[in-house]
Amino acid sequence: MHLAGRFAVQVLLHLLASQRRFDSLLLRHIGRHLDLVAHLAVHLEQHPQDKVVAMDWGFKRPLQFLTLEKVNPIEAYGYSATPPPGFYTGLSDLLTDPNTLYLFHGYGPNDIARTGTAYPRYEAFMSEVAREGKTATLEKTFTHRDGGPLYEVYSVK
């Protein structure tokens, strides 16, 4: 085999090894969550009458993909550190439909500030629910393998 052929084989072997390392790292990182979002998708598909509202970033695209867009969450959190002005008005409108499920990232009772969320809206959500004279009920929790909550599904009546 001439020099160019040997070089091409070495490059190919290096690329394959790099891809295996990348896949391994990726699976270690997202594999912890991938099975849970699949379980969440199945759960939501079993409630087709319900509107689904994502109260944090990271729900919409995976759920659309896994359910072939049968579940299409409304993103109601706003892209800012604090709830934007329209958040409360929009949420008030959503709260009128009792067949709505609200999705949160759950980080457990000891994480009051919910530091693991991209856009913390849990406290604002609960305040608006109370202001409307309604009650939020935790319907389902999807937990990490270590037992800590990752996803929480609420309804409001």
Domain extent, residue 61, equals 31-156
Give residue 49's pLDDT.
85
In the structure encoding, which two tokens stand for residue 115, read together? 């530091």
Whether residue 82 is contained in a domain is answered as yes
In the structure encoding, which two tokens stand for residue 99, read together? 């067949």
Whether residue 69 is contained in a domain is answered as yes
A 10 A CB-CB count for 56 gives 20
Whether residue 36 is contained in a domain is answered as yes
Whether 99 contacts 139, CB under 8 Å? no
Strands (E), 36-75: 51-54, 74-75
Whether residue 46 is contained in a domain is answered as yes
Whether residue 11 is contained in a domain is answered as no
Query: In this structure, is the dihedral angle defined by the CA atoms of residues 90, 92, 94 and 100, taken in order, positive or negative?
Result: positive
Task: Collect all residues with Cβ–Cβ distance below 8 Å to 60 and sequence separation of at least 6.
Answer: 54, 72, 73, 75
Low-confidence spans in the chain with pLDDT less than 70: 1-34, 107-116, 146
Give residue 111's pLDDT.
55
pLDDT digits (tens, 9 = 90+) for 128-137: 999 999 999 9
**Tally of domains in the chain:** 1
Whether residue 9 is contained in a domain is answered as no
